Structure 1
Amino acid sequence: MSERKTTKEDVHSWTSRYADKAGYMLNPDEEMRELVLEGIAKNKDTHGKNYCPCRIVTGDEIEDKKIICPCIYHKGEIETDGSCHCDLFFKKEDEDTDED
């Protein structure tokens, strides 16, 4: 019996729902976004969890729990840098801001 592989589409679906709910947006750069989604899907299949592809899985269950996407660091990173370390989640751009 073979297990179903996690796809980028699977990951895109739940990360998109999370971003909407949290008030973020996904990376508008499609190529970069696809690379990150692919990395998360690979980590899910390899390690059994949706680990951030930009962080190292150590094998320590307690430490690694911190890097399950969305990781514990993402909110602070988005607040200070405008995006998380993986560049998956971005602060929504203010739509009502005049740039004149």
Structure 2
Amino acid sequence: MDDTPARCDQCQACCCQLPVLVLPGDAPPEHMLDEDADGYLIMAKADDGWCVALDRERMCCSIYERRPFVCREFAMDGGDCREVRADWRRIALSLR
């Protein structure tokens, strides 16, 4: 695993491609919500699979103050972040 500390502004935003369950108490804008196959409320994805809340010019969340709990708990450079980035690198390497 890469020991370089992760910084969201220098990342491929791998986490912004993961499914994000919207929990009671979360308050993202309604136009950014979708429903999954099981009827759960989730953050919507753009046609290419990226979260609709991702500001791609700045590579950061456009609704940062209103982001769902799941996103707030996904700490920059935390264990989940490092694991997702490592998975992303493995997949990218396997496609070469």
TM value normalised by structure 2 = 0.27
Larger RCO (CA within 8 A; separation ≥ 6)? 2
Higher strand share: 2
Q: TM-score, normalised by structure 1?
A: 0.26
- Choose between structure 1 and 2: higher helix proportion: 1
